[in-house]
Structure 1
């Protein structure tokens, strides 16, 4: 770690929370030289199929050994055409979804930028509505629609005509947020112009694991239709089966105009982002939104293999069973530890909200102690007071249970013994 601390930029983050040198990973376990850790982070959602998935890895190795195209810009290639065909036959056609596929730059934020640019081009309006608590990426356009003031601090000139609207979470429990949106759009004196698009997450992951109600999503779709506004779904972290179905919006039986995918779309953690566009909205001119690494052939190979793998093991059924376990365990074993604990989640993304303790350092120390006990778990939400459970979708049930037991043990030790003094908690974590 010394060489990284000496030469790597201060911008590094995850390594500060999990300070060890990792050298191997397999399925749902990450290894250092002296210890193994259960992974409840899964590459921040990029490893839905686990580390070094054997089925996907073999497809990638075979492709590399064949000296096939590794980098291809947006050339027609065998790897890309196979991915498109598989995505169409396995994902879009069975759901009767009609989208064009735009391969963007290597990370999700690039597809977000493309979506914003295209929406403004289509509607010839500059405004965008986003939601409080949202996270959409770290480049300028994506930051402009991200709610976290801390990561926006010191960045000037990125407002880009963005208006933040209330999201249906606990803070807005007494507000009909859709009615509020409607009133803003209908009021000629609201001071807010009609936007080109509304971008939303069906589950605000970085925002604290807040799950949008089905009725709310349906009303949001209807509102966009009434007011001639495009609806953009950011499915970067909670798509690709994370909530059960491949797309997280399926449970609401709605069809967004634009859908953003990244993270696990490549299947193996390779950089890839994808924007799905309703055909009538695909008005790009050639090369109008481009990027050198939009032709990551290994990502196409991994993505095709991932779609095959999820069918081979009936992944949706796997997620359904593990969702039932997580929901039951968290509500019956974790929530009773202290009445201030709140549990939220869906599928294989769950949050343990400790915000009511009003002690962010307490939550950090709990996460640190989990790490010392062999569990990698991230903190998210306002003040980083929500423990986020985000394991690989194919995690073995026994390992999932073991990881949850570590959380139960740590929370019991730290909360029931009233260890709210930071120095005491540090001693417990050591």
Structure 2
């Protein structure tokens, strides 16, 4: 094998009776390293048979990958019949209902005919028979693929829409699809606009689970998971895998604290020193420098998207808006108070627009978690910033750090520093504070 040190691998079969020095693992388990490997869940180390594992590869961001390749959108019943030819029992597709806007139609081939089942959307759930209700189309198709229920035959073969590919198949082949039966979901720890986040347990490992039940939103968040498969850095929240069951489950390493709420606002100046704030800032900068090296733009860098581990390491999360350097517009809802002027006005996103956001994040950190532009609404912020307004330094903020914020907020993106240069500047400031990056903050609990 020529895989580099630290390669993540997926077990292809069970190894339940290890000999002395060998690692115990089961099919689907993750290991890190070849030959002498570390189990990602148990932390145990031992030798493995390299022929019994396969490399876990990153997934390229691909708009053709779909969680619902059998969904054909707004087509007529006669078009659906044409697509389901030649006849084959269990061949199916789902389309939008033209006669009943907001509803769907499940079209199934059986006994050389196509049966159209009206899928009613009511009370935020879907039903065919007013007996069984589903959170989304993914949930419904999964059920009728395993159970005949009310319909004439089980759903045996999806008719894929032209130009789409199965995301589930891709996730499975690359080793990122996890087993729902090995996941235990526990208490809820957060809830956002798109879904809830829970503490969970996956094969003995404590994890965070983001559950997205809306199928359209789940498809949008598929992009986030594809981006995360290629990210391996100590200051980025690590993706463990994805589960497709009653929606999309994104399983990541557990991070107990949110930077601006749980650490800064609750503990404040009396507990968190300037040196500790500097280390938080450096952690984020190093994670962003890594994204910079991959030519990836985060587009939603803010304190709310920075999480803190038990040993007080800050890590960047929420890669749902991440994309490569691009001037191509999209319909993403942008966080105006954190977004650079050229990105708001012309949709010009780059590492330098992330640097602007990083300047806002620094203001959040050194104001101990205050909301940026505290007296303005988003409309006022957009106009004032375009006219050259910049926030004043937070109370007690060192002048050197405020100067870093100001250079991040240069109107001309080319005059803003890279994250590489920002990292060196922060390391200098930590040195001036006589603060050890390894000890100053890591021991603060």
Task: Report which of the two has the higher share of helix.
Answer: 1
Structure 2 length-normalised TM:
0.25
Structure 1 length-normalised TM:
0.26
Task: Report which of the two has the higher share of strand.
Answer: 2
Query: If you compute each CA radius of gyration, which structure gives the higher value, 1 or 2?
Result: 2
Higher relative contact order (CA 8 A, sep 6+): 1
